[in-house]
Amino acid sequence: MLRIKIPGGEYFDNAKGEFYKVKDYDLRLEHSLISLTRWEQKYKRPYLSDKTGPKTLDETLYYFYCMSLDQSVPPYIFQKLSNDDYNKIINYINDPMTATTIKEHPSKKRQKPITLTSEVIYSYMAEFNLPFEVCEKWHLNNLLMLIRVCSENNQPPEKMSKSQTSKYYSELNKLNKARFHTKG
């Protein structure tokens, strides 16, 4: 969870032409499957894909609003974020939140890429029996890594090439010769 303090103060609303007072807000933000779902419900497009174009500032600020654990925070508070606060949130979103890495195998055939949406992630969670009520609140990058690990663990072992098989049997033959004291 990321905490950001938004200082209160008096602000001018250009649209209404009047001043208004804002109290201090202690934002508690979570980049999670829940926040992703809320954003996609409003914009009807995948948040994790740039195929439909980059997100506007309003779309980004609305995602920050969706990240808020306290839904009573007025949306205009997110327009009061400083550049430093904005960058902290973006860095938090981009943080992998895990020590796990998965090495890409060049020999693996690439499957057709799937556009990740909240429903696709929920389907992976169902496939791997991950509890929704727990995992949907995790940092999204951590959840996606868990899904990748589950996927890797469920893959059949990679077949050896002919040269790898030949080398394996050659080594095994040497060990057996030494073990049984034979010449072949």
The string of DSSP codes covering 68-87 is: BS-TTS-GGGGGG--HHHHH
pLDDT over 70 for what percent of the chain?
A: 96
3-state secondary structure of 27: strand
| Mean per-residue pLDDT, 38-50 | 95
What pLDDT, on a 0 to 100 scale, did the predictor assign at position 92?
Answer: 98
- pTM listed for this prediction: 0.78
| Mean per-residue pLDDT, 153-160 | 81
Measured CA to CA, the distance from residue 162 to residue 168 in angstroms comes to 10
> Is 68 or 80 the better-scoring residue by pLDDT?
68
- Residue 114 corresponds to which tokens in the numbers above? 């799937």
Are 115 and 50 in contact by the 8 Å Cβ rule? The answer is no
Print burial letters for 31-49: b (CB count within 10 Å at least 16), e (below 16): bbbbbbbbbbeeeeebbee
Task: State the average pLDDT for the chain.
Answer: 90
What pLDDT, on a 0 to 100 scale, did the predictor assign at position 165?
Answer: 84
The residues, ordered by sequence, that sit 6+ positions from 132 with a Cβ below 8 Å of its Cβ are: 122, 125
> Is 136 or 105 the better-scoring residue by pLDDT?
136
153's torsion region: left (phi>0), alpha (psi -120 to 50) or beta?
alpha
What pLDDT, on a 0 to 100 scale, did the predictor assign at position 110?
Answer: 62
Measured CA to CA, the distance from residue 34 to residue 41 in angstroms comes to 11
Q: Find tokens 């980049």 and name the residue.
A: 31
